[in-house]
Structure formats: structure tokens, C-alpha cells
Amino acid sequence: MIDIAVATAIYCLAQNIYFEARGEKDVTAQLAVATVVMNRVRDDRFPDDPCAVVRQGPVSRTGLPLLNQCQFSWWCDGKLETIDDPAAWRQAEIFAKLVLTSGLQISGIEEATHYHASYVSPDWLPKMKFCRRIGAHKFYRLIN
């Protein structure tokens, strides 16, 4: 039986995989999205649990995330997040559990704490060192 904290962490990681990368043809990109979350968990500059990392960002006085100001865009883009692809969700859950419980690392992104879809250019890029592109995502680490 999985303990509640582990089950919750798997759920948060699965959500991030699903909403950030379920369309990726290369499953390594889905694993890499979860790996970035876990890299942040291990980094003192970020929260120390996967759910806090995924949900990190400023909130309004009502406790709701401020639109488009979160670490992961799906969390506060103002859209209703619906899991409507059961196969993709199941895969996201499997990958989340794998990354959370195995310590899996992906070559080239061992220190990556950020990523973005290749078709956008975030304003935080000047503070980053490019690590690797995997599928439609580009991965970065903070410049020390």
C-alpha cells in the first residue's frame, strides 16, 4: 500500500506531466518534465515537495493563484483543467511514480530546474544555461 504523502506526490507529478507534456511523442520528454520537478525538490531554492513545486507561484487574497504567474503555466492559466484522455493520464501516473520512487535521471538535464515549450521564449532565459532539448521542450539550469 502506498502512503498518502507518496500518493499525493505521484498525483501532482502526474498532473504536471499530463498538462505540460501529454502530447509529446517522445516519452523521454514526459519523464524529463517530472525530473525537473524532482530536481527542484532537491534544490534549496524551491519547495521541498512535488506538490508545492508544481503549485508554486503568487496567490491572490482569496488564495487562488494569480493568472499566468505560476512556475508551471497550466496551474494558473485560468482554464479548467480536465483529464479527458484516460490512456495519457495512466501513462502520466506510471511515469510520475517511476520518477518519484526511482531517482531516475535523464542525461543532460541532471541539474535542469526549468523548461519551456520550444515555440515560446520566456523572459527568464537570460538567467539560464541551456541543457538539452527533448521533444518539443527545452531544458535549462540556473546560472550559478
DSSP at 107:
T
**What is the pLDDT at residue 76?**
66
What percentage of the chain carries pLDDT values higher than 70? 83
Query: Is residue 128, in this structure, part of any structural domain at all?
Result: no
pLDDT tens figures, 17-63: 999 999 898 899 999 999 999 999 999 999 999 988 988 765 545 55
Number of independent structural domains in the chain: 1
Contact 15, 36 (CB under 8 A): no
Query: Is residue 130, in this structure, part of any structural domain at all?
Result: no
Contact 8, 86 (CB under 8 A): no
Query: Is residue 47, in this structure, part of any structural domain at all?
Result: yes
Q: What pTM did the predictor assign?
A: 0.87
9 has pLDDT over 90: yes
Query: Is residue 118, in this structure, part of any structural domain at all?
Result: no
What would the mean pLDDT of 101-117 be, rounded to a whole number? 93
Query: Is residue 23, in this structure, part of any structural domain at all?
Result: yes
Question: What's the chain's length in residues?
Answer: 144
What would the mean pLDDT of 70-80 be, rounded to a whole number? 63
Query: Is residue 92, in this structure, part of any structural domain at all?
Result: yes
Query: Is residue 129, in this structure, part of any structural domain at all?
Result: no
| Domain region containing 51 | 4-106
Q: In what order do the strands lie in the sheet containing 114-117?
A: 114-117, 137-142, 128-134
Query: Is residue 140, in this structure, part of any structural domain at all?
Result: no
